[in-house]
Amino acid sequence: MWKWLTLGILLLVPGLARGGGVLPGEYHEHALAVLGPDTWAVAAGRTVQVWSLANLEEPMSVLSGPTGPIWSLAASPDGRYLAAGDQDAVVTVWDLETGEVLYSLRGHSFGIWALTFSPDGALLVSGAHDATIKLWDMATGMEVGILEGHESWIRCVSFSPDGELLASSSCDGTVRVWDPETLRQLVRIKAGADGIYSLSFSPDGRYLAWGNYEGEIKLYQVGSWEEVRVFGPGEHRSIYAICFSPDGEHLATGGFTRRLQIWRVADGELLSEYEGHTAQIWGVTYFPGGDWIVTTSKDGTCRVWELGE
């Protein structure tokens, strides 16, 4: 038994859900961030809605400030700050304790699709359609570094758990690993024939996983950068979103299949898949406890899933 929730609607469904009531929305397919054990943020146009599992009738708060449609979101590890990247190439950072805009960061020349905070919250990293990655000091709001080398749009950025490595993916078909302190590129891996839309370090820092246009999930050993395993739906059923479970034993993915899929990291076996979205899934994130996942999709809805045994 498992259940899924759309904002404002609760359905209990045995087995694999097929359709059901869906609350139509204007939520961006990619702009999603978990803030805490039971709270998350999702973008709608030029605003961000903050939701809680305790009340699915209305958002806890609505944040405004960006002048362009929001394309990406990231929350600081302590849940105090929320960053939004928009179509106008501006990163807006809110202090969630006050609800006020802390910074409006400008420096990119095109829209911002990728955001992440460092594990200690000291840095914010943004990746844009201008093929550059910028590092921002959260204490001052100043740009403190730029990473160049990708030849197309930046799709995802992710820190290793210890903060010593920064991985990036792009529509140039490569995954690159950087030293965020020296700004040096350490590794360049040709990861697919087309865009690499998402990547994630495992919670223990041993692996880096990504999904590609071909429908492959690739697992690499951090340090040696050797390929450990390749699995996934294949057949060009692109993987657009990927996330490790908090214990590192599972990978949750979404993409062209329109299903939330759960894979076992140890052997690449597909353990379960949850159906309900009617278009490609672009956002997948675990809540800290590992029992819930939130997804966003091209269908405009945001769903929260309680995982079964």
Q: What is the mean pLDDT of residues 260-284?
A: 95
Q: What is the mean pLDDT of residues 116-127?
A: 98
Q: What is the mean pLDDT of residues 172-181?
A: 95
Q: Within 10 Å of residue 199's Cβ, how many Cβ atoms?
A: 24
**Residues 153-166, buried b or exposed e (16+ Cβ, 10 A)?**
bbbbbbbbeebebb
- Asked whether the predicted pLDDT for residue 133 surpasses 70, the reply is yes
pLDDT computed for residue 26 by the predictor: 83
- Asked whether the predicted pLDDT for residue 155 surpasses 90, the reply is yes
Confidence bin at 16 (pLDDT 50/70/90): very low
Q: What is the pLDDT of residues 194-225, one digit of tens each?
A: 778 999 999 999 999 999 888 999 999 999 99
Q: What is the pLDDT of residues 229-239, one digit of tens each?
A: 999 988 778 99
On average, the pLDDT of the chain sits at 90
- Say what the pTM is: 0.91
Kindly report the CA angle at 124 between 286 and 176, in degrees rounded to 5? 80
- Asked whether the predicted pLDDT for residue 255 surpasses 70, the reply is yes
Would you identify the CATH topology of the domain 149-282? Methylamine Dehydrogenase; Chain H (2.130.10)
Confidence bin at 309 (pLDDT 50/70/90): low
Q: What is the pLDDT of residues 98-109, one digit of tens each?
A: 999 999 999 999
Q: What is the pLDDT of residues 78-95, one digit of tens each?
A: 999 999 999 999 999 999
pLDDT computed for residue 201 by the predictor: 98
pLDDT computed for residue 191 by the predictor: 76
pLDDT computed for residue 120 by the predictor: 97
Kindly report the CA angle at 190 between 229 and 272, in degrees rounded to 5? 35
pLDDT computed for residue 54 by the predictor: 85
Q: Could you tell me the residue ranges of all domains in the chain?
A: 149-282
pLDDT computed for residue 6 by the predictor: 40
* Percent of the chain at pLDDT exceeding 90: 82
Q: What is the mean pLDDT of residues 251-259?
A: 96
pLDDT computed for residue 195 by the predictor: 78
pLDDT computed for residue 154 by the predictor: 96
Q: What is the mean pLDDT of residues 126-135?
A: 97
